[in-house]
A = this chain, B = another copy of it.
Amino acid sequence: MTSRIVAERQVIPSASLPPVTGRTRIYGILADPIYHVKTPEVMNALFKTHGIDGVLVPFHVKPDGLTALVDGLRRMENFGGFIATVPHKTDMLALCDEITDAARHIGAVNCVRREPDGRMVGAMLDGIGFVEALRAAGVDPHGMSVYLAGAGGASSAIAFALADAGVRHITIANRTSERAKALTDRLQSAYPALTVATDAADLEDHDLVVNGTSLGMRLEDEPPLDLERLHRAQLVADAIMEPAMTPLLAAAEAKGCRIFKGRPMLESQIVLMAQHMGALA
């Protein structure tokens, strides 16, 4: 799987798309807000490369409209499935008719396949995409100590995928310490050999620093962690897609850290998503 994904990461969003016809299969991305999503460009470029007659379009839906929209999409016969992103990943868990073990474990869904009978099958591919992007860049997280800001859906997915990839320690730093504790408890239970913590004070002691919050999407956001304490021996990754260079990554780069942008993580999981939605074999 890894070599396939590395190859697919070369896909560059195209300047043009093939025409949409009555036979074109439809896929979506559900988000709120929607303007910042990059998945349509990346997925449609992948479809074009593979000669797939499909198009992925943005569906802007607020949390209180999610159930009605998903119920409507069950009845759309040429709809293949959708990607769910902020703030819908957790809510989708209960709206799916079936979920993968990874989605149940992590407690969130980010990709849904619509079966021909309208049933919705949810998966969680965020974390796998994150780890595959690190590996594609030549970084094996095995044995590393990880500092992860955030305890929401994206952070949970990244934490479980990193645990699965063999990191030795994970610190979860979250504004609500109860959520951080709940996540470390679940991690510890699933991976007894892993050590965990929720103390944000020891940022400098970690090999890999990851932002799994949405802080950095908007100009006025506070930093997701204490930028002053980063140092050049650390790897710093941000799960945010836009802006590509977040204030966190800019600060880390200025300190001499090796940085990892959100976009390659999206590209790493785009093939996994196309496969889950049945667009790609």
Task: Write the residues of chain A forming the contact surface with B, with a CB cutoff of 8 angstroms.
Answer: 13-24, 26, 31-32, 34-38, 40-41, 44, 55-62, 64-66, 68-79
Contact = CB atoms under 8 A, between A and B. Distances in A.
A41 B17 contact: no
Contacts of A60: 76-79
Contacts of A13: 19
A57 B59 contact: no
A22 B13 CA distance: 13
B22 A38 contact: yes
Question: What's the dominant secondary structure at chain A's contact region?
Answer: mixed
Given A59-B76, A75-B68, A17 B18 contact: yes
Q: How many copies does the complex hold?
A: 2
Contacts of A64: 75
A69 B73 CA distance: 6
Contacts of A20: 17, 40-41, 44, 55-58
Residue picked from A13, A20, A44, most chain B C-beta under 10 Å: A20
A79 B68 CA distance: 14
A41 B55 CA distance: 13
Contacts of A59: 26, 76, 78-79
Contacts of A34: 22-23, 77-78
Contact of A72 (B17, B32, B36, B69): B69
